[in-house]
Amino acid sequence: MKIIMLGAPGAGKGTQAKRIADKWQIPHISTGDIFRANIKEGTELGKEAKKYMDQGALVPDELTVKLLLDRVAKDDCKNGYVLDGFPRTIPQAEVLDKALAELGDTVDFAVNVDVPDENIINRMSGRRACVSCGATYHITYAPTKTEGICDRCGKELILREDDKPETVQKRLEVYHKQTQPLIDYYAKKEILKTVDGTKDMEEVFQDIVAILGA
Ligand code: AP5
């Protein structure tokens, strides 16, 4: 099964994508996580991506598309995958469709996690991410057992640079301009499924399971 997660920054795409990946035993592929791992390792790609990410802008398609196509060509993607943060522009969606069509394949579902802008700033300012393993939490909605410490690996948690309110505002603007048109794109292909992302995390997941077919 090939699934795309759509939604504003902080809508809960990553939270739900991880759970989908666990349940269906398919890889969770987050372009944001791939860029952050490259930044941490100090690669050339990471240095270039950081310039855009810190400003809340999109990383150019030239850097993003090849990286994603290489990733989905790997063996562990044979039974499908859940994409989180890709595609983010119509050209990215078209490239993915073309690459899949060449293999006689298509995307099965585009799941849109719908959360209004007014809820987003609060969500993002409360998110904490692990500097080491990348696990994410929320100080109110998904707290750790010990404040500031990752439950999974025991390392320190941080507020992501791009989760500061002024950058979140910019990311929302970019989302509405460049990414939201994908909702119509996938609606026209009749694979768009929208869930109410303002519900509690477990309820959102159950709504997604009902759509994907348990
Ligand atoms: P990326 O990492 O993809 O960020 P994003 O799409 O902005 O999404 P987030 O990871 O911020 O949020 P999310 O929807 O996954 O929410 P989460 O589950 O964490 O991208 C970062 C940057 O990389 C981009 O700005 C861009 O520069 C670049 N980039 C990446 N991909 C690119 C591409 N394809 N092209 C170009 N550039 C690209 O949840 C948020 C918080 O809310 C958490 O704390 C969580 O615990 C909490 N939460 C989740 N669900 C609920 C709920 N139901 N109720 C209450 N709290 C909840």
DSSP 43-101: -HHHHHHHHHHTTTPPPPHHHHHHHHHHHHTSGGGTT-EEEES---SHHHHHHHHHHHH
Residue 83 has pLDDT above 80, yes or no: yes
The closest of 152, 122, 86 to 10, measured between CA atoms, is: 122
Mutate to test the pocket of ligand 1, among 115, 141, 166 (most ligand atoms within 8 A of CB): 141
Each residue of 98-110: pLDDT tens digit?
Answer: 999 999 999 999 9
Catalytic residue (one of 19, 36, 128, 171): 171
Whether 88 sits among the annotated catalytic residues: the reply is: yes
Average pLDDT over residues 85-108: 96
Per-residue confidence band for 134, with pLDDT thresholds at 50, 70 and 90: confident
Q: Of all residues in the chain, what percent carry a pLDDT higher than 70?
A: 100
The reply to whether 71 belongs to the active site is no
Q: For residue 163, which atom of ligand 1 is closest to its CA?
A: 11
Which atom of ligand 1 is closest in space to residue 30's alpha carbon? 3
- Residue 10 beta carbon below 6 angstroms from any ligand 1 atom: yes
pLDDT digits (tens, 9 = 90+) for 170-213: 999 999 999 999 999 999 999 999 999 999 999 999 999 999 99
Burial pattern 46-71, b for ≥16 Cβ within 10 A else e, equals: bebbbebbeebbbbeeebbbebbeeb
Measure the CA–CA gap between 153 and 149, rounded to whole angstroms.
8
Please, what is the average pLDDT of the chain? Answer: 95
pLDDT level of residue 121 (50, 70, 90 thresholds): confident
Binning pLDDT at 50, 70 and 90, where does residue 147 land?
very high
> Which amino acid is residue 93, in one-letter code?
A
In the prediction, which pLDDT does 51 show? Answer: 95
**Distance between CA 3 and CA 109 in Å, rounded?**
5
Question: Which one from 2, 19, 50, 127 is the annotated catalytic residue?
Answer: 127
214 pLDDT higher than 70? no
Q: Residue 161: which pLDDT band, with cuts at 50, 70 and 90?
A: confident
- Residue 209: per-residue pLDDT: 97
Confidence band, pLDDT 50/70/90 cuts, at residue 91: very high
In the chain, the percentage of residues whose pLDDT exceeds 90 is 91
Check pocket membership of 53 for ligand 1, CB cut-off 6 A: yes
